[in-house]
Amino acid sequence: MELATQRTKWLGKAWKFFEVTTSTQDEAKKWVQEGAPHGALVIAEEQTQGRGRLGRSWFSPPRKNLYFTVALQLPSSSPPLNTLSLLAGVAVAEALRSHFNAQVFVKWANDVVNSDGRKLAGILVEGFKDHLGKDWALIGIGINVNLTEDELPEELGEIATSLQILLGRQLNRFQVLSAILASLEAWWEDWTGQGIEPLRKAFPQLDWLKGKQIRLIFPSGEKFEGMANGITEKGELKLTLRDGSELYFAAGEVTLRSLEMPFKT
């Protein structure tokens, strides 16, 4: 684990490793309630109840991937919590590009995907108050690292991929974690210090949805179709409708389907 945190100043310096647990999100929350420091890291080799967004589960077999959560204490004034998934997506994508030369993109707001839109990493952000009333964010990240095509369950075969499949070689998972933690720490400092402007500047080069036809679906079932057109200064997705008008959507409000993919997302 020391290898994984040697590039950071404070993120992950306090850590807990679990051979197997239900979900690193649960362990991190418990630890914060017991007094974990800002930047605490929980990592597991295997999760029995790995959680995705919208009540989905996250495929978490042992020895192949990365499953971890960082617990971050929110300063008294910070950008909206829903921009944190974008922050984590950009941090992961940049780390994978610069250290492993992986052609990956951010699919607003929560996914890191390859050029075909197949998912390599998922991000789950949960906010809560500790017993002192302080606000925390738990950023949970799952990355498919050394999964082969054969090891992807059938139902994920069309929508997911891994770094090994993308790069054609196995990676050292600690090196992947180390690169991501360093990137995440730098992005957190920018986000708390300068707001989301630096993120907004970095996003266009990583924006997988840009120019694609998509459908956004609210939990109520209400749907909007149009062309994805980048993000606003608040990190909202811009959707250009057929009549040329623009709508803005905050992360967490909507589910998204790409209409240009042969498979569902």
Known catalytic residues?
A: 53, 119, 257
Structure tokens at 241: 């409708």
Tell me the C-alpha distance between 215 and 229, whole Å.
Answer: 13
Structure tokens at 202: 């970095």
Give residue for tokens 């069309």.
Answer: 158
Burial class (CB in 10 A: 0-12, 13-18, 19+), 203: buried
Structure tokens at 41: 């890291």
Tell me the C-alpha distance between 185 and 205, whole Å.
Answer: 20
Contact 123, 110 (CB under 8 A): yes
Q: Between 20 and 247, name the residue whose CB sits nearer to ligand BTN.
A: 20
Q: State the number of binding residues for ligand BTN (CB under 6 A).
A: 21
The residue from 8, 24, 144, 258 that contacts ligand BTN (CB under 6 A) is 24
Q: Which residues pair with 40 in a beta bridge?
A: 71
The one-letter amino acid at 208: W
The one-letter amino acid at 102: A
The residue from 23, 114, 144, 178 that contacts ligand BTN (CB under 6 A) is 23
Which parts of 58-87 interact with ligand BTN (CB under 6 A)?
Answer: 58, 67-69
Contact 187, 13 (CB under 8 A): no
Closest distance to ligand BTN from the beta carbon of 254 (Å): 14
Which parts of 33-62 interact with ligand BTN (CB under 6 A)?
Answer: 47, 50-53, 56, 58
The sheet carrying 213-217 orders its strands as 246-249, 237-240, 223-231, 213-217, 255-258
Q: Between 48 and 172, name the residue whose CB sits nearer to ligand BTN.
A: 48
Closest distance to ligand BTN from the beta carbon of 26 (Å): 7
Give residue for tokens 């770094």.
Answer: 163
110 binds ligand BTN (CB under 6 A): yes
Closest distance to ligand BTN from the beta carbon of 251 (Å): 12
Q: Between 18 and 100, name the residue whose CB sits nearer to ligand BTN.
A: 18
Closest distance to ligand BTN from the beta carbon of 69 (Å): 5
113 binds ligand BTN (CB under 6 A): no
Q: For residue 214, what is the enclosing H or E element? A: strand 213-217
Tell me the C-alpha distance between 237 and 8, whole Å.
Answer: 31
Closest distance to ligand BTN from the beta carbon of 210 (Å): 20
Closest distance to ligand BTN from the beta carbon of 122 (Å): 2
Span interacting with ligand BTN, options 136-144, 153-161, 188-196, 208-216, rule CB under 6 A: 136-144
Span interacting with ligand BTN, options 19-27, 30-38, 87-95, 129-137, rule CB under 6 A: 19-27
Residue 176: which of 90, 100, 121, 103 has the closest Cα?
100
Q: Between 113 and 196, name the residue whose CB sits nearer to ligand BTN.
A: 113
Residue nearest to ligand BTN (CB): 122
Q: Residue numbers of the site for ligand BTN (CB under 6 A)?
A: 23-25, 47, 50-53, 56, 58, 67-69, 110-111, 122-124, 140-142
